[in-house]
Structure 1
Amino acid sequence: MRGSNAQQLRYILDEQDTFSTDAEPAPELVQFFQIPSHLLTTVNRRSNGFFSCAETFNQDGELQSTYTWFRVLVKMAARDASSSYSWHEMTFCSRWVSSRCTILCIGAYSLFRGLLQDGLVQLGTTLQPSEPYSLHIPLVEAIVAMQDLSVWSVRNIVRSVEKASTLAAQDRSLPTRESQGFLMMHEAARHAIHSFETLSVTVETVEAMQRHVVHLASKSKQKSGNEPDTLSQVRTHMAFQASMLRNLLLRSQSNKERMQNEIALAYNMIAQRDSQVMTGLGEAARRDSGAMRTIAVVTMAFLPPTFLSAIFSMSFFNYTPEHGSAGWSVSGKLWVYWVCAVPLTCITLMIWYWRQRRVGS
């Protein structure tokens, strides 16, 4: 920061995310920012956001010091909904003592630093060292801008999926969904869920911060009888930022529901296409069944003559009259045919019946 407030208001930006990697922070930082030991546990280090604070008052009821600790996660997805994405896990520790405020920003990558610089350019002249949350305003402004980028990156992906679905519905020659399309929808839904989750926690974090500002304002009003204008401005600005985050949360929820709607539409279109295919197969089976019935009728029509021709073509019958015979003759051994044919037919039918019962059970 520049100007007369540079010595009283300052940010310490640490690009390396030592908080999430379970690395031990420097004892001097822990002591300076009065970081509670329970915030350094694995549970809090792996959390998707939190807010905690502490303040002290002197004997006259005047605010003497204020410490805040909070954490924010933001997910940035690639425009094509591929597996390319980036997580921004940021943890902040602030110390306000005797109108001197310092905020340690852990995990402050280039994107956050740029947005924070933009916020300081817009709000730098209005920052007052006398207010504990003066430096939080541009900080939250940068977080709101990052969440806005996150939500709109997911929205652009959802919009591209919707356009592809509309094109597929209009052009029946196009495949309903390819495997790559389903993968894109899966990735987009995953990004939308993560964005909604982290944004929900960010809203709760900023609202908890807002409640603490209101608490300090009520304490100040009880002490002096009126609320300082600077503190009122901070409270108003914090309320506006919380409102913006809630608006983004609604858009994030809309992205998630729109993505679920597209997934349901894709499955319905596939089910409709499969139903049409099954209808075609049923029609083809019906035609085949008609042809088979025709073949069966023709076979039944020719079966009796075939059986008779087989019988009379055997050597048991003699159609060549001999000298002195008046017609054709039948061999006396014709019983051999029936003795062999009837048992063999019965055995065949019994085997068929046994196999049918076995398959049916």
Structure 2
Amino acid sequence: MGHGTPPPSAQRTETPQQPKFRRLWKTKDDPQRTRRTTHFSATELTAWCGRDLDILIAPLDGYYADTQDDYETLVNLYHIPTEFIAERDRSVTHSFGRHLEDGGMETLWMHFLSEVPSTDPSNPHPDWLKWAFILEWHPVTSESTTTYAVSLIVFQPPAETLKLLVQLLQSPNWTDVTIDPYILVNLSLSSWHERIEQVAWDVKDLVRTDETDIFRRAQSVRSTKVTTSDLNLHRLHTNAKNAIFMVEALDAIIRSADLALSDHASFPSHTGYQHVWENTHRRLQHTSELFHSSRLMTASVQARIKNTIDLAFHINTVHDSQVNIDNSRSVRIISIVGMVFIPFSAVSSIFGTQFFSTPDETAGHMAVNSDFWMLWVIALPLTLVIVGMWRWSEYKSMELQDDVGLLSFGWDWLQGQRKRRKGRAGNLKDASTIV
């Protein structure tokens, strides 16, 4: 066998398998060091072991074809609430839940879902932002100086969340999380706002492009060119839909932020750590206001796209009206030209009949037939009959319209009488039943 080209299977190089799970943790015994591990499947993971701060970064939660076994292992290993599992199956736009279990263990979770519009004209299909987290904590010290062992699972977090988590782990104040775990809730909401704010600005830029295009066309609205009314109505509708989805997503996350804020109000603040609780509560309030700010901007964008759509239809209407005006002007010109030549045509038709003849080619005058009066005797009555029939048809059409209105009124009156009779019959039946 000669030295030929090796088969494709021999040429194929193995792609390194990417880890599905990353784990980061900190302990107060070594507060400056952040430990990390990577795992290629959920079977390599271990249960929470009481670390001061333990963070697990996992793929998107849910039973999918490529991660079904891993997710099942994750559910059993970390006792993920059944409500959390059901929420992903139903694709909820937002959720906020909290459980108190035996031994003081508390579990809090959130779900986020939002549409991301495409800014690529060649690929108009939108994408979806899906993210969730589960936060657990349990007390590890006496009641007077309570701190917590905190565990966090984040499912498919955006880059903004990972950046804030790294900053927190590198900060000397990371131990505040063991005093108030809601710091991680605020971190999650803040990173989600950073992402959703960028999406809101993308929607605003798309609407601004539509506005510029519509205003440019409005300047030449009197033109009869096809390009004036050649509007991309599908793009306008898509941008309006994007604004609606953004309002829905922001309304949902605002509810989650408000629930987190009210829930944190009932979270105990212990002696010596009051400032940590107050700072966390104020950060939650600030994050909630940021979402409200984005909501106001998106509401403005929604109103602007509605105004743009109205203006687009107005431009189309004015353009069609201008085309009709130009067409009627052309018809009017043709009619005027025709009216100019009608007398000539009539005279030519009359003199072209057999009632006019030249008896002698050398004669200078035309001879008129003695029966010429028959032309007028036949033509004039026939013209009067045609005009009369036209007037009669106009009169009958107007009379028919009046009759239709009367018939409609009479039908409504009969229907009302029938309903009243049925009502009286029903009342008599009820009275006989009571008796």
Q: Is residue 73 from structure 1 mapped to residue 113 from structure 2 by the alignment?
A: yes
Q: Is residue 9 from structure 1 mapped to residue 9 from structure 2 by the alignment?
A: no
Pick closer, same or farther for the CA change 1:215–1:136 going to 2, 3 Å. same
**Alpha-carbon RMSD:** 4.2
Pick closer, same or farther for the CA change 1:117–1:155 going to 2, 3 Å. same
Matched with 1:240 is 286
Provide structure 1 residue ranges, at least 5 long, that are not aligned to the other structure: 59-63, 321-327
Name the SS of the counterpart of 1:247 in structure 2.
Answer: helix
Q: Is the 8 A contact 1:49 1:205 kept in 2?
A: yes
Q: Is residue 191 from structure 1 mapped to residue 235 from structure 2 by the alignment?
A: no
Q: Is residue 269 from structure 1 mapped to residue 321 from structure 2 by the alignment?
A: no
Matched with 1:166 is 215
Aligned residues: 324
Deviations 1:34-84 (A, max 9, x none): 5135x44478622211212123588xxxxx232112211133223345514
Q: Trace 1:21-32 onto structure 2 (pairs within 5 A).
A: 25-26=71-72, 29=75, 32=78
Q: Distance in 2 between matches of 1:307 and 1:171?
A: 52
Q: Is the 8 A contact 1:54 1:66 kept in 2?
A: yes
Q: Distance in 2 between matches of 1:28 and 1:105?
A: 12
Residue 32 of structure 1 deviates from its aligned partner by 3.1
Q: Distance in 2 between matches of 1:212 and 1:152?
A: 30
Q: Is the 8 A contact 1:80 1:157 kept in 2?
A: no
Match 2:353 to one of 296, 310, 315 = 310
Matched with 1:259 is 305
Q: Is the 8 A contact 1:74 1:150 kept in 2?
A: no
Q: Is the 8 A contact 2:61 2:88 kept in 1?
A: no
Q: Is residue 229 from structure 1 mapped to residue 275 from structure 2 by the alignment?
A: yes
Name the SS of the counterpart of 1:310 in structure 2.
Answer: coil
Q: Is the 8 A contact 2:180 2:277 kept in 1?
A: yes
Q: Distance in 2 between matches of 1:26 and 1:45?
A: 18
Q: Distance in 1 between matches of 2:116 and 2:351?
A: 85
Residue 18 of structure 1 deviates from its aligned partner by 1.7
Name the SS of the counterpart of 1:176 in structure 2.
Answer: helix
Counterpart of 1:47, as a letter, is: V
Residue 227 of structure 1 deviates from its aligned partner by 7.5
Q: Distance in 2 between matches of 1:54 and 1:239?
A: 23
Q: Is the 8 A contact 2:114 2:128 kept in 1?
A: yes
Matched with 1:214 is 265
The percent identity for this pair of structures is 15
Deviations 1:98-149 (A, max 9, x none): 212222222x15xx0x212321344443342122313222222211111111
Q: Trace 1:94-105 onto structure 2 (pairs within 5 A).
A: 94-98=135-139, 99-105=148-154
Provide structure 2 residue ranges, at least 5 long, that are not aligned to the other structure: 1-23, 29-33, 35-50, 140-147, 361-366, 401-435
Matched with 2:406 is none
Match 1:295 to one of 326, 333, 341 = 341
Pick closer, same or farther for the CA change 1:203–1:161 going to 2, 3 Å. same
Name the SS of the counterpart of 2:280 in structure 1.
Answer: helix
How does the TM-score come out when normalised to structure 2?
0.62
Name the SS of the counterpart of 1:68 in structure 2.
Answer: strand
Pick closer, same or farther for the CA change 1:287–1:230 going to 2, 3 Å. same
Matched with 2:20 is none
Match 2:326 to one of 280, 301, 305 = 280
Q: Is the 8 A contact 1:131 1:230 kept in 2?
A: yes
Q: Distance in 2 between matches of 1:11 and 1:42?
A: 22
Residue 243 of structure 1 deviates from its aligned partner by 0.8
